[in-house]
A and B are shown apart, each in its own frame.
Chain A
């Protein structure tokens, strides 16, 4: 069966520090991968998505970036965090067009 792993679960980082969040999917190949952010009391905002290795589409211009170094690995990064980067970061995958499944999320607090 397919599973999605996301870590860490919680993170407290100072303003200006770097960020790296990792997401991996097991039990499938060539999944579509997504990074969403949910600010407190807000909806899910699509940040990046990838339909294949090295293919990254950015939805929101900001100080975040994403990479897909392997088929089932999706990484969200920042060189310098801002206070506004705080939120609940969610990775999701789908084998094709449907059945989007979310990881357990990373709650990031920038202080």
Chain B
């Protein structure tokens, strides 16, 4: 079983819609959870991190964590074509950050 799993996509949503990206992880001891955005050919950039169960909002982005279900999600409201990218979920295990393979999001006008 992979440590961090994501659906590879692509997830296609129309402009203005809510995009929902999901991630599951296997290590129950994980304490910190991250979402990165990666444009083609570029390095990943941090969007949000979350530690506690529940929701964390930052602008159009909301991260949701459910430790009992070992589930992390990212909601993007009012999706824009500029949000089209690959979204990487990452989980901190001890001193290491373990990544999923990413979900490709396509926002069409």
- Majority SS of interface residues in chain B? strand
Given A44-B88, A44-B99, A46-B97, check contact A99 B43 (CB 8 Å): no
Chain A residues closer than 8 Å to B92, beta-carbon distance = 97-98
Cβ of A49 and Cβ of B88 under 8 Å apart? Answer: no
Cβ of B32 and Cβ of A97 under 8 Å apart? Answer: yes
Expressed in whole angstroms, the minimum distance between the Cβ of B56 and any Cβ of chain A is: 13
- Majority SS of interface residues in chain A? strand
A-B contact count (CB 8 A): 50
- The interface on chain B, measured as residues whose beta carbon lies within 8 A of the other chain's beta carbons, has a size of 21
Chain A residues closer than 8 Å to B32, beta-carbon distance = 97-98
Cβ of A49 and Cβ of B95 under 8 Å apart? Answer: yes
The bracket for how many chain A residues form the interface is 20 to 34
Whether A43 sits at the interface, judged by CB under 8 Å, is: yes
Q: Which of A11-19, A63-71, A73-81, A101-109 contacts B (4 or more CB under 8 A)?
A: A101-109
Other A-B pairs, 7, CB within 8 Å; known A32-B95, A97-B95: A46-B97, A94-B97, A97-B32, A97-B92, A102-B43, A104-B43, A107-B41
Which B residues form the contact surface with A (CB < 8 A)? 31-32, 34, 41-46, 49, 88, 90, 92, 95-102
